[in-house]
């Protein structure tokens, strides 16, 4: 990726920091560091201020940083030097008076160590907790990021189509999950966006079921929640029900309710709509059908370098949609002991409405697969 992209993002952040009156920010969230620098390793912080940007890393990454971020200054610590000391040294050189630190991704223990390490600074250095500033910038994707997410969608969808055609009643949840991962990679994915959820029959009532040894058998249905991660690090996230046999009428009923709710939610997506209003639009359909208490999670979340990022659709979310946001819409109804349905697509907010990026058919009759 061209370095200019990262420099542009850092300039955007500096403009935001200026408005907030913060002279420098210590970026500790790994994905935020990647988004601002192109560096793909871990355990590294970025100190960014007006006129300087220093990546604080360790000897494992010296060569990689030279390749990935040739235009950044680097502070490399070795195994004798803990992170907080390296931070203190870089910060003391910058002499900013105040230092913002990302408070959602810095542990209390790290904060205290940094505070102690800079306690003797001249002039004194004041630490300030800074919220989701970088995360909020990341919520709005540029054209290159949207292209990456589209790639992740294609990889996930091709993998799913292929796994649907090889699925058999002898396969366990774990085997289906592994096969799906393997196939997505065949189609160019670096890996799965997250560990796929494959839940057979009544186990589909667990919204976050961990695939296990339960076999497809004659359970009638399987819930699959999966996505792909591109080599550029961007992710997709989908959920579909596969109907593999006879299913209880109740399940077909809730399938209809969830699908209506999902379509209603998607329809509400446009620039300026509040995050809460989109959640409400979908949730009301489920509540009106009498299943409100069986839909306990938020309606969706942003996707990008992380599988869960800003913004979030929920009954208590603040904020509005803006063009360039990419967010999942995934209502669900879960009946303990009986099974559950969730349907999930990825939606891009456009200038005048939205575009659904995912395209796996989702009418109930489309879900039926022949299994061996």
The residues of the shown chain that bind a second copy, judged by CB under 8 A, are 40-42, 58-64, 78-80, 82, 101, 103-112, 129, 131, 174, 178, 181-182, 185, 190-191, 195, 205-210, 212-213, 231, 296-298, 314-316, 334, 336-337
Return the closest-CA partner of residue 131 out of 3, 326, 318, 320: 318
Task: Give whichever of 82 and 272 is closer to a second copy, judged by the CB atom.
Answer: 82
- Distance, CA of 200 to CA of 217 (rounded, Å): 9
Closest to a second copy by CB, 223 or 348: 223
Shorter beta-carbon distance to a second copy: residue 215 or 350: 215
Among the residues of 143-300, which ranges form H helices? 143-166, 173-186, 249-267, 275-288
CA distance 155 to 8: 29
Coil, helix or strand for 308? coil
The least CB distance from residue 359 to a second copy, in Å, is 26
The least CB distance from residue 363 to a second copy, in Å, is 26
If the CB atoms of residues 65 and 357 are measured against a second copy, the closer one turns out to be 65
Least Cβ distance, residue 279 to a second copy (angstroms): 8
Interatomic CA distance for residues 155 and 183, integer angstroms? 9
* Residue pair 103/129 in contact by the 8 Å Cβ criterion: yes
Q: How far is the CB of 37 from a second copy (least distance, A)?
A: 15
Of 99 and 348, nearer to a second copy (C-beta) is 99
Q: In the bound complex, what is the minimum distance in angstroms from residue 296's beta carbon to a second copy?
A: 3
Q: Peptide bond preceding 123: is omega within 30 degrees of 0, i.e. cis?
A: yes
Provide the minimum distance between the beta carbon of 79 and a second copy in the complex, in angstroms, as a whole number. 5
Question: Tokens 């990454």 identify what position?
Answer: 61
Segment holding 9, helix H or strand E: helix 3-20
Kindly tell me which of 164 and 280 has the beta carbon lying closer to a second copy. Answer: 280
CA torsion sign for 30, 34, 39, 40 is positive
In Å, how far are 95, 119, 128, 274 from 285, measured between CA atoms? 56, 56, 43, 18
Tokens of residue 297, six digits: 């999670």
Tokens of 367: 């879900």
For a second copy, which is the closer residue by CB, 29 or 348? 29
Q: Quote the radius of gyration of the chain (alpha carbons, Å).
A: 23
Nearer to a second copy, 88 or 357 (CB): 88
Cβ proximity to a second copy: between 115 and 252 the closer is 115
Which two tokens mark 133?
């500033």
Smallest distance, Å, CB 24 to a second copy? 17
Apex CA 97: angle with CA 92 and CA 102, to 5°?
Answer: 85
Question: How far apart are CB 211 and a second copy at their closest, in Å?
Answer: 8
Distance CA 349, CA 42 (A): 31
């Amino acid at each position: 990726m061209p370095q200019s992209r990262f420099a542009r993002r850092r300039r955007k952040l500096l403009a935001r920091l200026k408005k907030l009156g913060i002279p420098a920010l210590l970026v500790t969230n790994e994905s935020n560091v990647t988004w601002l620098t192109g560096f793909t390793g871990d355990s590294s912080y970025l100190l960014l201020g007006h006129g300087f940007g220093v990546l604080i890393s360790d000897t494992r990454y010296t060569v990689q940083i030279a390749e990935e971020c040739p235009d950044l200054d680097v502070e490399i610590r070795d195994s004798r030097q803990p992170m907080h000391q390296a931070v203190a040294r870089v910060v003391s050189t910058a002499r900013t008076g105040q230092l913002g630190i990302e408070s959602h991704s810095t542990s209390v223990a790290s904060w205290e160590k940094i505070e102690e390490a800079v306690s003797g600074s001249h002039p004194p250095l004041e630490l300030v907790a800074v919220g989701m500033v970088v995360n909020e910038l990341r919520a709005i994707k540029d054209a290159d990021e949207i292209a990456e997410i589209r790639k992740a969608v294609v990889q996930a969808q091709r993998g799913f189509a292929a796994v649907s055609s090889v699925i058999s009643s002898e396969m366990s949840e774990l085997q289906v999950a592994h096969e799906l991962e393997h196939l997505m990679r065949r189609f160019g994915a670096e890996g799965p966006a997250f560990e796929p959820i494959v839940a057979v029959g009544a186990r589909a009532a667990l919204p976050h079921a961990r695939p296990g040894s339960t076999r497809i058998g004659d359970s009638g249905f399987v819930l699959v929640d999966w996505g792909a991660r591109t080599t550029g690090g961007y992710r997709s996230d989908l959920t579909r029900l596969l109907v593999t046999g006879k299913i209880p009428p109740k399940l077909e009923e809730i399938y209809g309710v969830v699908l209506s709710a999902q379509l209603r939610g998607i329809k509400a997506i446009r620039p300026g709509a509040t995050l809460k209003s989109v959640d409400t639009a979908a949730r009301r359909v489920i509540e009106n059908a009498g299943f409100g208490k069986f839909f306990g999670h938020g309606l969706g979340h942003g996707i990008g370098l992380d599988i869960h990022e800003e913004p979030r659709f929920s009954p208590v979310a603040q904020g509005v949609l803006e063009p360039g946001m990419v967010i999942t819409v995934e209502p669900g109804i879960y009946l303990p002991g009986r099974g559950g349905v969730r349907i999930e697509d990825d939606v891009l907010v456009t200038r005048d409405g939205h575009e659904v990026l995912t395209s796996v058919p989702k009418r109930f009759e489309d879900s039926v697969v022949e299994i061996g």
